[in-house]
Structure 1
């Protein structure tokens, strides 16, 4: 069941996002970049991947399905997680107007982007379930997902040319790297 995010998690996320490039928190032993079509590695760069278009695409539907499958295969689907969904609504009442009714949620403005943050079991916070729940709503997409213990972190932020998974779990990282459809690269 989707619930309000714990205040401590919301504060941590907001502070991290405001103080970073919004790609991946520090400290994970393994960092895997997942490249949508057209995105290429850029060796030695601070941001190690680049897309030819400034309107960077999220992972494809097929890539999202594989990411969801690997996470569900590697992590207990009932694991309590937090997630941030990008919602392009300049004002909260626009979200309601477009059918995004989120009474359990909490709105946070992080930088210039709006995110709605929730907590839920992993199985409800992945790309597929988010699309099923809010797929018909204007500009809703999963941007960040992490367990309450922050042992791994998935990011697919708006206007970034790639998604990333950070983890200390070698098996999770290796499973992502082994899937050709993900065009995954360690960095």
Structure 2
């Protein structure tokens, strides 16, 4: 059971981000798009606001070969220019190892996110290993309430797998997207991509 911290007022946050939502040029495409083959997806075909799709395979998260989370019910959040980010239902996560670390971030689409450290017994603490939206914005047709309280993990901090393939972290360290061989970019996060 997660001990959720108090969050800022959702209505005030929503008023604060409305202007950011309209700042995106939906027609923008970088000049070096990777070719997309059969069974592959371009991050430039993902929408903004992002959509939720079922993950294409079982999603597994490990630390030192110990399973932290495993789910056949994960939902991929897909947003223009970003790698998919799986959200797992709490029933499929060892939530007793997740400790809110006091950091709260804000997404213009989903709302306030709570960050977690992974604190497994007898193991070093993994700072900023995961996050969740306990009370996402509910003003859009994409219905982010479906992932309320669901957990996402950083593949830069833990071993994250889609099926048998280990996911690589989205570049830059800010975003939590999972890059696999089927994902084609370029993906935002590198220097010079901040406007993406």
| TM-score, normalized by the shorter chain, greater than 0.5 | no
Bigger CA radius of gyration: 2
With structure 2 as the length reference, what TM-score do the two structures score? Answer: 0.26
With structure 1 as the length reference, what TM-score do the two structures score? Answer: 0.26
Q: Which has the higher contact order (CA 8 A, sep 6+)?
A: 1
Higher strand share: 2
